[in-house]
Every structure is written in structure tokens, then in C-alpha cells.
Structure 1
Amino acid sequence: MTFSIQNIIPHIQAKIAGIADDFIIENISIDSRSLQNNAGTLFFALKGQNHDGHHYIAELIKKGVRFFVVEKVPENYVDKATFLAVQNTTKALQKTAKYYRNLFHFPIIGITGSNGKTIVKEWLNFLLSPDYSIVRNPKSYNSQVGVPLSIFGTNENHNLGIFEAGISQKNEMRNLENIIHPTIGVFTHLGIAHEEGFSSLEEKIVEKTRLFTSCEVVILPRNEVVEKHIKVPTFTWSLTDEKATVFGSIKTQENQKTVIQIHYQNNSFEVTIPFQDSIAVNNAMTCMATLLYLKIDTPIIQERLQKLYPVEIRLQAKKGINGCVLIDDSYSSDYQSLKIALDFLEQQKLHSKKTIILSDIFQGGLPIDKLYQKVALAIQNNNIDRIIVIGETISKYLSELPNVIAFGATIDFLKQFNTQSFQNETILIKGARSFNFDEIVVLLEEKKHETVLEINLDALTHNLNFYKSKLHSNTKIMVMVKAFGYGNGGFEIAKLLEHNSVDYLGVAFADEGIELRKAGITLPIMVLNPENSSFPAMIAYDLEPEIYSITGLQAFLQLTQQKNITSYPIHIKLDTGMHRLGFEANDMDTLISLLRNNNFVMVKSVFSHLSASDDTHFDDFTQLQFERFHLLSQKIINALDIQPIRHILNTSGIFNYAQEMQLEMVRLGIGLYGMGNSKAERNNLQNVSTLKSVISQIREVEEGESIGYSRKFMVNKSMKVATIPIGYADGIRRAWGNEKGYVVIKNQKASILGNICMDMLMVDVTSISCIAGDEVIIFGENPNITEIATVTETIPYEILTGISQRVKRVFYKN
């Protein structure tokens, strides 16, 4: 990256405020939490519906950042930094990326479509990297912000770019086309993804094909509906239409391979693709057509296509052996994705000790010594305690760093592997596919289970930011992580929330809070249902009790007096109509008398709980609760002359009553996990949890036979039945069985047959082409938890919190 502040000022129409310095930009950042932020960083303070980067400028200045692009200059810091003031920081980021892109004049492949963008991008990178020095988006950085950040990875030694562009509504692609400005277009697939953002299929096609405005050609599966909207030449492929530029006919599909006879320009040849499923075959055909257009020799195409591999685009956090946490990124190794992985490591670290296992870096474009200087700096910025490098090149260039252990090859590491050398640490495993780091993951990971609950950390962050967007910037947020994070996971989610700077965590019982403290969580933690017997442990672990009764208050005061503790934070619960726990009006005099002139405790907050905030039909009662709370809390405030935090809103309360009732703090619960109590609320949330399993066995069952306990399902015609290793002991309610519920296999519904067993359930796969080992979706986007709750006559809370602890949790970030 070789451009300066002065270069971009005219392009982003910025006005300089503060210290009028110029500098060469080394790093572009939009995330205040990244440990890569330093004196060489230009920080764009992006403002969105759910976030505002301006809030973190003071924190960044303390870290050494001195250059900012802002919409509003913070007056208190004009003498400490250089500010480029613009009308819109997101537009300024895009314009900066456009300026930077135009410094380079090599071919750019621009990829869009409904599905398959990231896989085609990664496969093209693999297929073309022997011939080109390639820059591409890391992971799936294909958004209005992700594309600009990807462009900044370009340098003068690259000679091919491969960038994907993703949109979800009108008028987005023009921005991305201006930035990427591709010379070759690739359209992967036309499907239903993001259809809700467009009024018609045609409108969606028109918007997507805007990426190809300046292309010399567009490569795509033959599709007349799409082609009529493309105004430049096309290069098409098909497995059914001989009029396509490249025509293929499938010869055989067996042993997880597909052999295709290809016909192109009066020539014929065979290719072998190491997949049988139609989506992978189609993506491979798109890649092959691109190679043919680029005039790659046929024998090379044949050789490289058969080496294609499944692409894992997610960063996953997994439980490891001996109390470790693994960050699995074992399929790629380049500098851009290394920075992303290091940020994720910091976000998900459970232990203070951090280890990285890193292979040779395959980064086209940079001189090798400069590349490894940047790699070394990134690792040092993240304060990695132990650095294990594998590969001849990385061993040579990083050997001088402190705490480096070097191996020439993965096999050398595996020969010396000792399970006891990894204890209570967070381990980032990042390596190029050729290094087979998946073998290291197998050794370090806890025993694998066929059934897993996947937790999407990006969706959690989205949901948190949605509720934040309904609040004033100074309103505090307590997030409930009780009941093992509503069934999703305890410390992993707490760590994410700590990373996102929430103000408080809420748990039900002291032992939940103690586990979070043992896991290294330092946020204030409130215990909502403390037992008197747990008070000593709460004090030992710095947990703050909810006090809801005179006897509870007396017991806690007695303990603090015995321990000679002063000003210990407590939270006073008022009962305004829920009639579950809390002080009522007739308790006020006694409560105040116990607290007045008492220095053993400090009333940190006063709060209550709305009983019907999810149903606006009870608006009058909710307003009554709020009035009662105001009167009772004000009586305490006046009598004690204090200014505690007040809070009454829960998740639905934030959605329905934030305007008038948010006070100084709110409490976010089920909404964080993607569950809303109304359709309007759910439409703003993203699905967090996906429960997956696999097919254990498939059998043919003849007419007259029965399936499952008590012969609840009688077979009236021959059918194909799959057994799934998950049952009511894992949290699947029996009421979801007997054809009321279903699972999804190969994007098709499979009805649950008969009674759900303790550890298994059986489904009808008569019309589904599947085999043992295929993935099964128990719930997620479809079926979703709300649907299951409705059918089984319960609430989403019960479905989510009922998932057994024996089900493995996997946390991931796209």
C-alpha cells in the first residue's frame, strides 16, 4: 500500500481538521478492536444503522492511531490527531478503494451470482495461482465494506485480481463495479438468495449484471434470461444445451467423482471432478470455462480440476484437548486472511496464553522478505506467546522471533506431537491446504460428534447491533447469558460480548457467573436469582447480587459486615406487576431503613421486569408497570440521595418501548440469539443457531411393517427410511415426532416417522437422493425454532435451552 493522505483528499472531498500532517498509509481499518491498529493506520469511522465508529476515536488515539476519516470532528481531540472530514465515511472508504484500484492495470475477474461466489473465487485462485500472482477477497469479504477492504491488499507485484461482489438490494452493485472495475466477468448461478431485496427476478438480474458494465466478456452457465441483460460478449457453458460455448455431457458418477466429456471449439476431452453433487459440479464447470477462456492448456486443466477440494470459508472456534480452544483456519494461508484470523483469535481467546501454528504464507505480489516482515509484525502486535511455524520458508524468515518453534514439514510436527504440551491456551491453526493442517486439528480437537450446534457469531453481533440501534448512545446494555447462553454456549458468547463492549452480563445463579470468571471474563456480572448460601462465593468471584427480599438483604449485609467490606455493588429488584420476585410498595420503608447510612453495600442499580412487553395489547398494563417503577425507584433515590442505574426493558421491551422506557440501561436476552416475539421483530434478526447431524443408516421398509416404539407409524407402501443419531436426550421434543415435524436433507423436507427415541429419530427419505453420512439440518433457517415451538405448543426459549450439553457447540465467523 503506497499512497498518502494527500493523494486521497481530492477523491473523497475531505476537509482537514486537527494536526495537518501527511503520512504514508500502511493499514486501513474500520474495527477499533483490532490489535493491528497502530501509528500507520488510517481509520474510517463508519456509521451504520447499528454502529458508529466515532465512539471509539478516543480509545484509538490511546493506541497510537493518529489519522481518521470522520463525518464529525471530535473537538476534544483536534490537537491530538489528523481528521479528514467527509459527508459519508462509507462512501469515502469506497472512493479511496476506487482510487487505489485505478493505480493498477492488470486483469481483474469480477464474480457475482446468487450462490457459489466464494467457492468459485477460491477454486479459481487455486487453479490459476501457478500462472499468476493473484490478489483476491479474503474469506467472503464481498460487501459494500468488504470489497474496499479487499482491494487494499493489492500491490505492484500482482498481475491478476479475483474479487467477488455480493449484493442484497437495489443500487448496491454500481458502487462495487466502480471499485472492482473488472475486465472479465463471472456469473455463477441465478437462485433465490436475497430475493426479498428486489421486486422481481428481472430487477435482481439487472442489478447483479451491472458488475459487468466494463468487462470484455462474461463467463456464465447458459441462461437466456440472464444473457439478455448482459451488454458485452458472453462465454457460456452447459451440461444440457449444445448451443453453449462449452458443452459437457456427464459420462459417469461414482466413487465421489464425476467424469464429464467436454466439447469446445471442435475439440473434445474428458475432465474428472472430485465431486458428485450438482452444485459442486456446476461451480467446477464455471471454473473450467474461465480457464478455457484464459487459454490454459487442456492437459493442465485436466490435471488441476481433479485436485479441487471442499472450501471452508468460515473461521471456527472449537473445544480442544486439555482445556484448549482451537481456532480452525486450516485451509488457507495468505497475509490478508491471517490478519482476520488474528483478530478472531483475540476475540475468542479463552485463556491469556495464545499459540499460533502457521504454515508458509502463499501471498502473491510481495517480495518474500517484505511479506514475512509484515507477518512477523502482525504476530507481534497480537502478543502471541508461542509461535509454531511449519515450512522451510517461514522457518527461515521467522526463526529470529522470540518463542518460535520451527518444523520443516507437518509430518515433522506430528512426529514430535505431545498432547501434554498444549494446556489451557487458545490455539490458532492456520495453514495452506497443501500442509494438511486438518491432521493437526484432529489431534488437538476434542472428540468429534456427529451432532453439533453451530453458533454464528456474525449473526450474534448483528442482533446485538440491531438492539443497540434502538437506544441512545449512552444507554448501557446488560446481556443475559444465563442457562448456558440460552443453550448456545456460555463463555464463548460472553467473550464475544466483552469484545463488543457491553456493560453487564446477567446470569441466573452464582455458579454460572463463577464459570465465566474462571474463563477469564472481566465484565461486571449480575446474578439474578442468588441463594443466600451462595453469597460468600459471589463475593470471592466479584459477582453482583440481585436483592429482592428483606431477608436476602439482611443476610448479605451481615456477610459484608463480617468481611469488613464497603460499597459492595447490589441491584435492587422491584415487583411492579410480574409477581415473581422483588420488593413491593409496602416493603419500601423497611428497605430504605436498612440501606440508609449503610456503607457496606452500594445500590448499583434499581430495576423491575415487564411481564407483557411482547404483547402490545397489554400496553396499558406495561405503562402501569413503568409508572409503578418510577414511583418506587424515585422514592429510593430520594431517600438515599443516590443516582443508581435504572432498568426495566427486556428484549421485547427494547423493541416496543425503547423510545420512552430505556432509562439508563436495558437487558437484552432472547433477541440476541435471533428470537423475536413478533414477526416485525424477527424480520430484523439473523438466525444464530443451527443444529446439525448426519444420516447413520438408510434402510428399505416394506408395506405392513412399522417404525419406532409402540408402532406409531405403520408403513402403507415400500419406503426408504433414514436414521439420525439425535433424540429427546439431546433436546428434541417428542411432540415434534409422528409426522408433525421434519428435518432437512439436501434442501428437502424429510418427515419424522413414529416416536422420537432417546438418542435417535427416523425420517422418510423415499424421494431424496442421499447416503449415510449426508448432513441433516434439525433446525436453523428451516425449520426454524419458532416453527418448532408453535407445533409443539411451547416457546422458543424452551426449544433453545433444551439442547443437551452432550451436543457439541461449534462457534464460527464468516
Structure 2
Amino acid sequence: MSLNLKSLISVLNADWAGTDKDVFIDHISIDSRSLQNGSQTLFFALAGVNNDAHSFIPDLIKNGVQNFVVQYIPENYADKANFLVVENTLQALQEFAAYYRNLFHFPIIGLTGSNGKTIVKEWLNFLLSPDFNIIRSPKSYNSQVGVPLSVIAINEKHNLGIFEAGISTVNEMGKLEKIIRPTIGVLTNIGSAHDEGFKNLVQKIDEKLLLFKECPVIIYQKNEIVDSCLSQFAAEYMMHPRKLFSWSFTDQSAAVFISKKETKNEDTVIQYRYKNENFTLEIPFSDSASVENAISCLLVLLYFNYDQNAIQSRIKMLYPVRMRLEVKNGINNCSIIDDSYSSDFQSLKIALDFLESQKKKGASKTVILSDIFQSGFTNEELYSKVAQLISDNKINRVIGIGPTISSFKNQFENSTMFPNTADFIAAIEHLNFNNETILVKGARSFQFEEIVSLLEEKTHETVLEINLDAISQNYNYFKAKLATNVKMMAMVKAFGYGNGGLEIAKLLEHHKVDYLGVAFADEGILLKNGGIKLPIMVLNPESTSFPSIIQYQLEPEIYSIKGLNAFLKIAREKNLKDFPIHIKIDTGMHRLGFEENTLEDLIQTLKGNSTVRVQSVLSHLATSDDPKHYDFVNKQIALFEKLSSRLISELNINPIRHILNTSGISNFPNAQYNMVRLGIGLYGVSNDPAEQKYLENVGTLKSIISQVRTIPAGDSVGYGRRFMAEKETKIATIPIGYADGIARLWGNEVGFVVIKNQKAKIVGSVCMDMLMVNVTEIDCKEGDSVVIFGESPTVIEMAEALKTIPYEIMTSISQRVKRVFFR
């Protein structure tokens, strides 16, 4: 990309303010934290409900960014950079992407549907890449922001595009259609995802079909509802002849009719009829979703007139798609970012930004990178750009693997090159990996999963997978409920509610949360030692921890005169001035805090005291989640208003005030004061079933099958013979038990795990390190994956069955269970 800034003024219908219209733009950004921003970056300052990127413009200018699309110019900065002033910066980003898309004239495949978009996109890229130079959406960039960023990556060397479009409600697809302008439309599986944004299924299909408004061909699976919607769609948008290219298992009028489908081990063999000829196709998957996605790909190949031999050989080589970046503990105090199945220029940019957000304090940054394919650039252009990207991101060392990247070794500082993965593995012991954050990014053919396996810290096979994107989604859901300028404190106590405190704190710092909350000083010290710079409040500080709190610049909650005097004594000894403290008022929880009759002593102790500063005044709601007790909550809020106002008046201070927890944010919006405290909601749990559907599951506890055995009728399983087989029964043993946090009460057929998307009841007692499940009706084998909790069963379901709360389930997961973080 190389565009003159002057030409974009009319494209965006913008007002100009600046010093130089004749600069050229080669990079578009919406992320102020990206190290890839520079003098030729055009930064779109997106303004959301609670996040306004205009506030980051001064820092961006300091870092060398000179060109901005804004809704307003920050005060005193009109003459310090170039500004294109528009009414709405998101709309301007979309208009720019639509303009940029119109500069190119080659086939574009547009994908939409409820499920399968990303997988079909990745598979089509694999199937068509021998014959095309493809640009595609990186990862799942299919939103109102992701789609424009994907399309902006097109360059002159591409000759086929594959872009996915995702929507969650009406009036969204029309905007994406103008940006993608597909010439080939693919409608993937229509399921229940995002149902809450539509009145009914028909409305959802109608909205998705708008992507194909000017599309000459639409590929889809025939069924009565979709056909009816397409009929109406055709009547409404008859801009040119349109071909409906359909497939079906049941309707013989489809262009491609699947007459037979049978499963053989892990594969599926289908027989299909196309143009009155019959063909057989082997698909290397047995699950129905993968088979449907492969058939969508088949129709695209047929549309492109591929011969049957090419179709057979290519589809047989399809592979499981990894759609996430994973953070894993590595050897020698390293962190591994596993992106070992993808190597293209656009996704490298995303991975490098993720590396920056996840780097460990004091750790150097390393990239292990394979040859990059399908960039659209010549090798000279490509590796020059990659080297610049690596330099901009301040990578400490580069390890290149592949003949092409090796030939450009002189472009990279502090680099080591290997012609292939085997040579790297042979030399791995001499590369001295130690205290590094390592991005492992390679094309699938390089088999970088072997490198990840060698660098990964070895622990047992039970893992708790933490979806960082889900945490971001949940954070933004609650942040959108806040009034302007209300701060957010995110609770990361108890090891992030069992999910992993430091990694989640890094993500929250990336999102510029205002405060972090921990229970004890050692939790805060761990975060500070991990490089967290956010202010951290310690909710339950013990007086013995006050010296450490001061040393690590933590901020204590003070809830008694005794505690206050103890802290003041140490603070005076250290000659502190205006050290921030947080005053806790007891308004009815009766756990910790100053009561009304102790307020006078508090005021007299603090009056005229310059050693400490009251940073905030807070209280805690006892029943914000239970409508039966809302009157009590309102009394708590009224008492908090009375007592905190008295403190403010008599001490002449202006502290932050906060009383709302997760349920309070949703149920008592009029009591937000200056800040709220987000706890369990951040981790995907709500006490309100209506709200729960808007939150995303964060933690999935997984293990594997260690052994499968069949026992005869009359035999027992486990300690105490609490399960007796009434008939021949197949039993699988899973290496997880109560020492890992699985309650013994969850055993004896109360609870279940999920194997191959089927429930398997736990039989017998849960052991310390193992549990056994009934898999008589499940086709499974040793090594198969097992879900202990996540989407099913949820921690809410488990808590209800065990007569406890989700907090207990989540925080009980042992530290010996490895946490794997992914995006």
C-alpha cells in the first residue's frame, strides 16, 4: 500500500487540519499499543462507548505517528500532526476499506454463516493456493473492524481473495458487503450462534444473505428455510443473473447431491452426483461439521472447474485448523506463543502484537519463523518488510527455518538460520533458550508443532485452557454498561479466580483497565514482579505485610483504626508522603470495614495527616444478585452515600468511590459512583440467566483418556465398590482427581465429562489423581480428549449439582494443572 494522504480527504469526506498533505501512507492502524506504528501510519482513532482512542493521540505523536483520522482534534494538538476530521471514525475506516477494495479487480470469495467460516476459509486457502496468490482474512477477522483491516492488506500481486463476514444483529452485513464485494458467495452452516441478535432464524438468514447482494453465484446447502429466504432475496435483488449452486444430502434437485455417506475409522467417504456423473470423495474427518465444511470447499473447486483427480488428492490432504494463539510455559523460564500452523505476512503482524502484550518482565523476545508463503510480494520485498517488522517490534533474536528465509539472513540482526526443521531440532540444545518469550510461527509443512513440544515445559496431560478473547469480550460487555468516566477495577485475586493471575493482568493492562484488585499482598507482589505497572489494591492486607506493600507500591485497603494506626506508624518511619490507601466502610456485609460509630475516630486520625492519601472509599454489597434483597441493597447504598459524603466533607478530599461488584454493575446502574469492581463476570459467570448468554466461557478444563477397559456384569469400579456394573460396561480412566480440584461429590453418577461431544457419567468415587467414566455408548480410545468443564458441563451446572457456587469450582483447580492461554 502506498497512498497519498491528500487523495484520502475527499474519499473520507473529511475536513483537513495539518501541515503536510503530500505524505504517503503505507500502514493503517487502530491499535495505539502496536510497535508497528510509524511516520507513514494512518491511525484511525476509533471512539467506542467507553474507549476513546483520541486520548492516545499525544503518546502516538511522541512515538512518531503523524497522520490521524479523528472525530475531533485533541486540545493544543492542531498544529502538531496531520488530521482528517470526520463524523464517525469507524464509518471512515469502513469507507476507506471499500475505496481500497475497489482499486483491485480479481475474484473474491465471501463467506458467511453461523459456523465454519474460518475453517472453510483456511481450507480454501490450502486447496487453491497452488494456483492463486491469495489474500485472506487473518484468523477470525470478520467483524465491523476486522473486515476492513483484512481487506486493507490486499496488494497488487494478489489474484484471489477469501474474506469472512460475521454479524451479530441486523443492519451490519450491508456495511461489510460494500467492503468485501464478493464475486463468489459461500453460505456455511446456519446454527444458533448469535441468535439473540435477531427476531428469528429467517431474519438472521436474510441479514447474512445481504453479503451476496451483487454476487453472481451463491454456494449453499439446500434446505426449506434457506431456499425460501433465497427466493425472497432473488426477487428483491435482481441486479444481474445469479447462479444458485447448491448441495444436499436429501434433495435430489441440488446441483451436487450426496447420495451416500459412510464413516471409515477417522475418515468419511461420500458419493455425489454432479452434472449427471457420479463420483466418490474421501474426506479425512468423521464429524458432521467437518464433512459439511469440506463439501462447501468441494463446491468451490467444482465452480472453478477443477478436475476430479485434483479434487480427490487435495481434499484428502485437509487438516484440522488451529484458530488460536496459545501461550504455554516453556523450559528454562521461557514462555511459548504457539502459532505453529500458520505463516503469512498479515498474521505475523497480529502475532507480533500478541507477543508484545504477553512478554514476561525481564525476558527477551525471540521469534522462530519459517519461510512465508503467499505474501503477494517478491521475496526481496517480503523479507525486507519482515525484517523491518521484526526491527519495529524490538525482537532480540530471530531463528529462521527454511531455504528462502535463510537466503535473506543478512536482513536480520542477531539471527540464526536453518534450512529445515530437522536441522534446527538437531541444534536445539546449543541455542540456549533461557528467560525468553518465544513466538513459534511456521507454515504447516514445516511441522513446528515438534519445536513447540521440545520447548514446552513438561507437565501432566490435564490442562485448563483460558480463552483471553473471552475475557476481553466479557470485560467490554460490562464496560459498556458504565457511564462515561466511570473507572473499572478488575479483580484478579485467587490466581484470577483460578484462571491465572499474571497472564490475565497483562491482558487487562493491555486493555488499559484502571485498577487491579487482589486479596493479599503476595498476590500483588507476584504481579508487580511480573512487570504489571497498573495500580493494585490489596483488599485484605495483614499488618505484617505493610512493609512489603510499601516496598512494591501496592495500595492497601484499610478497614479498622488498629490497621490504620499500624500502617501510619510504618509509613512515618519510612517518611512517606501521600501514600495511597483505600478506606473500607461496612454498610451491612459485616465482614470488614469502619462502621458508622467508628467514623469519628477515623476522621480525627486522618485529619491533617499528610503521610497517606485517601485514594478511594468503598463498601461491599451483600446481596446485589438476589431480587428478594434489593431493598437491603438500596439501604446499603444509601448508608454508603451518607458515610462517604461525611468523610469527603470533613476531610476535604475527593476520592474515588466504589460499591458495585459484578451483579451490582448490572442491577444498580445508579450507584456506579467513580468506579466499579468487576469480578466473576470477567470470567464468564453471571447469576442472571438472561445475562449469562451474553458472556463467553473463559476456562475449559481438559484431560485425556488414559485407559479403556470392558468389565463384565457384577464387577465394581473404584474405592468402596460404589459402582457395580449391571451389564457389560466399558470404562475409561481419566488422569484427574480431587487433588486437581474435582470434588468427590461430583462422582458416583452425579457428574459427567464430555467425550466426542457425548456425556460420559462418572462412576464410582473420584480418586485423588483419577476418575472413571462410563463410555459404553461412546466410540473412544486411549488418548482421546476429555472435557471436564467448559461449555458443557458449565461451572454453573456443576455448582448447582454440588449445592455450591461457581467461584468454588473455579478456584479449586490445583496449581499442578497447567494453564494454557490462547487467543
TM-score calculated relative to the size of structure 1: 0.94
C-alpha displacement at 1:723, in angstroms? 3.0
Q: Relative to 1, partners in 2 of residues 1:144 and 1:638: Cα closer, same or farther, differing over 3 Å?
A: closer
CA distance in 1, matches of 2:49, 2:549: 38
C-alpha displacement at 1:389, in angstroms? 1.4
CA distance in 2, matches of 1:15, 1:725: 64
C-alpha displacement at 1:121, in angstroms? 0.8
- Which digits, 9 at most, give the CA deviation of each residue in 1:100-151, with x for residues without a partner? 1111111111122222111111111111111111110001111222111100
Q: Relative to 1, partners in 2 of residues 1:172 and 1:266: Cα closer, same or farther, differing over 3 Å?
A: same
Q: Check the 8 A contact 1:603/1:644 in 2, yes or no.
A: yes
Aligned twin of 1:684: 694
CA distance in 2, matches of 1:746, 1:460: 26
Aligned twin of 1:627: 638
Aligned twin of 1:408: 419
Q: Aligned with 1:154: secondary structure? A: coil
Q: Aligned with 2:809: secondary structure? A: helix
Computed over aligned residues only, the root mean square deviation of the Cα atoms, in angstroms, reads 2.5
Q: Relative to 1, partners in 2 of residues 1:97 and 1:251: Cα closer, same or farther, differing over 3 Å?
A: closer
Q: Check the 8 A contact 2:494/2:811 in 1, yes or no.
A: yes
Amino acid at match of 1:543: L
Say yes or no: does 1:348 pair with 2:358.
yes
C-alpha displacement at 1:62, in angstroms? 2.6
Q: Check the 8 A contact 2:345/2:375 in 1, yes or no.
A: no
Aligned twin of 2:773: 763
Say yes or no: does 1:121 pair with 2:87.
no
Aligned twin of 2:801: 791
Aligned twin of 1:57: 57
Say yes or no: does 1:806 pair with 2:816.
yes
Say yes or no: does 1:526 pair with 2:537.
yes
Amino acid at match of 2:143: S
Q: Relative to 1, partners in 2 of residues 1:251 and 1:663: Cα closer, same or farther, differing over 3 Å?
A: closer
CA distance in 2, matches of 1:223, 1:190: 11
CA distance in 2, matches of 1:499, 1:413: 33
Say yes or no: does 1:278 pair with 2:288.
yes
C-alpha displacement at 1:637, in angstroms? 3.5
Q: Aligned with 1:399: secondary structure? A: helix
Q: Check the 8 A contact 1:133/1:160 in 2, yes or no.
A: yes
The more displaced of 705-714 and 319-328 is: 705-714
Alignment of 1:63-462 (within 5 A): 63-230=63-230, 231=234, 232-238=242-248, 243-247=253-257, 253-254=263-264, 256-261=266-271, 263-265=273-275, 270-352=280-362, 353-418=364-429, 421-462=432-473
Say yes or no: does 1:750 pair with 2:755.
no
The more displaced of 191-200 and 671-680 is: 191-200
Amino acid at match of 1:807: V
Q: Check the 8 A contact 1:351/1:426 in 2, yes or no.
A: no
1:696 paired residue among 706, 730, 744: 706
In structure 1, runs of 5+ residues without a counterpart are none
- Which digits, 9 at most, give the CA deviation of each residue in 1:339-395, with x for residues without a partner? 111111111112342111111111332222222222122211211111111122222
Amino acid at match of 1:299: N
Q: Aligned with 1:417: secondary structure? A: helix
Q: Check the 8 A contact 1:327/1:428 in 2, yes or no.
A: yes
Aligned twin of 2:783: 773
State the number of aligned residues: 812
CA distance in 2, matches of 1:579, 1:212: 60
C-alpha displacement at 1:253, in angstroms? 4.4
Q: Relative to 1, partners in 2 of residues 1:170 and 1:766: Cα closer, same or farther, differing over 3 Å?
A: farther
Q: Aligned with 1:77: secondary structure? A: coil
Alignment of 1:439-588 (within 5 A): 439-588=450-599
Identity percentage over the alignment? 61
Aligned twin of 2:237: none
Q: Check the 8 A contact 1:19/1:78 in 2, yes or no.
A: no
Amino acid at match of 1:806: R
CA distance in 2, matches of 1:286, 1:622: 54
Q: Relative to 1, partners in 2 of residues 1:472 and 1:193: Cα closer, same or farther, differing over 3 Å?
A: closer
Q: Aligned with 1:185: secondary structure? A: strand
CA distance in 2, matches of 1:200, 1:666: 35
- Which digits, 9 at most, give the CA deviation of each residue in 1:209-248, with x for residues without a partner? 2322322322334445434544432333455665543455
Amino acid at match of 1:445: E
Q: Relative to 1, partners in 2 of residues 1:730 and 1:395: Cα closer, same or farther, differing over 3 Å?
A: same
CA distance in 2, matches of 1:677, 1:278: 34
Amino acid at match of 2:677: R
Q: Aligned with 2:428: secondary structure? A: coil
Aligned twin of 2:238: none
CA distance in 2, matches of 1:467, 1:345: 26
Aligned twin of 2:40: 40
C-alpha displacement at 1:267, in angstroms? 5.0
CA distance in 2, matches of 1:7, 1:293: 38
Q: Check the 8 A contact 1:399/1:406 in 2, yes or no.
A: no
Q: Check the 8 A contact 1:696/1:723 in 2, yes or no.
A: yes
Q: Relative to 1, partners in 2 of residues 1:709 and 1:419: Cα closer, same or farther, differing over 3 Å?
A: farther
Amino acid at match of 1:776: V
Amino acid at match of 1:679: P
- Which digits, 9 at most, give the CA deviation of each residue in 1:55-93, with x for residues without a partner? 333332332223222334434322223333333322222
In structure 2, runs of 5+ residues without a counterpart are 235-241
Amino acid at match of 1:502: V
C-alpha displacement at 1:50, in angstroms? 4.9
Q: Aligned with 1:602: secondary structure? A: strand
Say yes or no: does 1:596 pair with 2:607.
yes
- Which digits, 9 at most, give the CA deviation of each residue in 1:690-731, with x for residues without a partner? 222233333444444444433434444444443333222222
The more displaced of 449-458 and 98-107 is: 449-458
